[in-house]
Amino acid sequence: MMSVQMKFRPERKPNVLWIFGDQHRAQALSYRGDTNVYTPNIDNLARSGMRFDHAVAGSPWCTPFRGALLTGMYPHQNGVVRTPSPLSPTISTVSKPFNDAGYHTAYVGKWHLDGSNAREHYVPPERRGGFQYWMGYENNNNQHECYVYGTESEEPIRLPGYETDALTDMLTDHLKSHVNAEEDYQPFFAVLSVQPPHNPYAPPTNPNYGARRIHPADIRFRRNVPNVEWVQQRAALDLAGYYGMIENLDYNIGRIRETLKQMGIDRETYLVFFSDHGDMIGSHAQWGKSSPWEESIRIPFVVGKVGGNDNMRTGITDAVINHVDIAPTTLGLCGIDVPEQMVGYDYSAYCIRSDAPEYKGPPARDKEPNSAYLQQIPRKYHNHSVNKAWRGVVTRDGWKYVCTPDNDWLLFNTAKDPYEQANYIYDGHYQREKERCHDLLTRWSEETGDDFALPDIRLNS
């Protein structure tokens, strides 16, 4: 493997690399206590970085999340409200401020922002979010047969192996060719977006690629998977594949970490690991995403570095970072001003030491949200999923409140009831918390320009 010898220079601008899978719920990691899976590379990133354990996918559906991720705007503000939906090329993405700051920008993998679900769909250059290098695909639900188009080829290229492995190769090869000599070094913002562990739950079968052979009979269910025969049979089979895909993703994150070391840029490169949403896989007898329960909305979110902790804070924060906050936070890690169009909050001060050149001061506590806004904008007609549009809010102290049109639906204290088995929505004892959450939801709706029909929750006299 080629090694680029470079001397660490703290005055050099930091690099940032996003790594995210599809449908990877926050609970499915060994550092979060899931005994079904072993993720040592992600665990090490979490140990040496900052964990946002309350992170949420405010729109837990592939395309709406991705639109919010790249623009820093809510789905109803940028028009990307369903899967599939096209992101207008007139709306700038996070790549623009990085390009303007002299960064090289690169995107590898799943895009799903050009309005199609077809695997053979070609995304033209003007609709690739302004990234200087782009090799990806619109959508694909077969991780063993994946085709990409892009900067190096406008004709489809079939990836030579399992999707996550091959896309990791493609990313690291590009970074090595980009960081080719110290004298013309250019900082980069790069993205690796992979489909796994999205269904179909078909991991690679070669254990040399980080995926153990997990038997369905060995799966330990979450407490909220009902003891119903068909639910547990299906969940066991799906989870065995799901966890194998996660372990393969973890293996490839380890490969990326080693590549950054060999390139000599590990101490100046932030790794930001997250997911676009979770997956129910039998919890509450639900499947897939687009639901407001914890398995669907909670995502992993870790900011760390491979080589030491230079300029990096470590620990755990209860900040409720949302999809619209990821782009502003990423720009903040590099000391780049956040564009006015981005409505999210910059949480980078939680990650950067006060003596770092990029540090801009402590978090603005008067502006930092103490809650996050949740949305399923159009009605979704998938089986074993919520067949309603809904809005919700989660608070920093663990409350969750969700409404369907003109109807209050869910009220949980997830701090004390993480499996959401006690719904207090019509329990008068919790009316005060219900009204507090309803006020927060109303404020989010008004401030973001959402037109959802919220219910009247006043008690009858």
CATH number at residue 217: 3.40.720.10
% of the chain with per-residue pLDDT over 90: 85
Question: Which is more confident, 45 or 365?
Answer: 45
Residue-by-residue DSSP string for 205-232: S-GGGT-----GGGPPPPTTS-S-HHHH
Write the pLDDT tens digit of every residue in 348-385: 999 998 887 777 776 666 789 999 999 999 988 888 88
| Residue of 178, 257, 195 lying closest to 20 (CA atoms) | 195
In a domain, 6, yes or no: no
Q: Are residues 187 and 288 located together in one domain of the fold? A: yes
CA geometry: angle 189, 190, 194, nearest 5 deg: 155
The mean predicted confidence, pLDDT, of the chain is 93
pLDDT at 12: 79
Mean pLDDT of 270-289: 98
For the cut 70, the answer to whether the pLDDT of residue 1 exceeds it is: no
Q: Are residues 306 and 424 located together in one domain of the fold? A: no
- Which tokens hold the place of 238? 């799906």
Using DSSP, how many helices (H) and how many strands (E) does the chain show?
9, 14
Question: Which residues form the domain of 444?
Answer: 388-448
In a domain, 59, yes or no: yes
| Residue of 189, 183, 148 lying closest to 167 (CA atoms) | 148
Q: Are residues 160 and 289 located together in one domain of the fold? A: yes
In a domain, 360, yes or no: no
Least confident of 27-31, 41-45, 81-85, 117-121: 117-121
Q: Are residues 326 and 396 located together in one domain of the fold? A: no
Distance CA 306, CA 270 (A): 8
Please state the domain count of the chain.
Answer: 2
CA geometry: angle 156, 159, 163, nearest 5 deg: 125
In a domain, 293, yes or no: yes
* Domain termination residue (choose one: 320, 350, 380): 350
In the sheet with 133-137, reading across from the earlier edge strand, the strands are: 153-158, 147-150, 133-137, 104-110, 188-193, 15-21, 269-275, 301-305, 50-52, 315-317
Q: Are residues 402 and 280 located together in one domain of the fold? A: no
| Residue of 322, 327, 357 lying closest to 340 (CA atoms) | 327
pTM: 0.96
Q: Are residues 341 and 427 located together in one domain of the fold? A: no
Mean pLDDT of 219-244: 98
Q: Are residues 339 and 397 located together in one domain of the fold? A: no
For the cut 80, the answer to whether the pLDDT of residue 184 exceeds it is: no
Q: Are residues 142 and 232 located together in one domain of the fold? A: yes
In a domain, 400, yes or no: yes
Query: Residue 205 contacts by C-beta under 8 Å, 6 or more apart in sequence?
Result: 211, 213
pLDDT band, residue 2 (cuts 50/70/90)? very low
Question: Which is more confident, 151 or 184?
Answer: 151
Q: Are residues 204 and 279 located together in one domain of the fold? A: yes
In a domain, 372, yes or no: no
222 neighbors 284 (Cβ within 8 angstroms): no
Gyration radius from the chain CA atoms: 21
The three-state secondary structure class of 444 is helix
% of the chain with per-residue pLDDT over 70: 95
In a domain, 361, yes or no: no
Q: Are residues 60 and 160 located together in one domain of the fold? A: yes
Strands 301-305 and 315-317: unpaired
In a domain, 28, yes or no: yes
* Domain termination residue (choose one: 300, 321, 350): 350
pLDDT band, residue 3 (cuts 50/70/90)? very low
* Domain termination residue (choose one: 331, 350, 369): 350
Q: Are residues 323 and 431 located together in one domain of the fold? A: no
pLDDT at 353: 84
pLDDT band, residue 306 (cuts 50/70/90)? confident
Mean pLDDT of 170-178: 95
Q: Are residues 328 and 395 located together in one domain of the fold? A: no
For the cut 70, the answer to whether the pLDDT of residue 49 exceeds it is: yes
> Where does 143-268 show beta strands of DSSP type E?
147-150, 153-158, 188-193
Q: Could you give phi then psi for residue 23, rounded to 5 degrees? A: 75, 25
Write the pLDDT tens digit of every residue in 85-121: 999 999 999 999 999 999 999 999 999 999 999 988 9
Least confident of 162-171, 203-212, 226-235, 281-290: 203-212
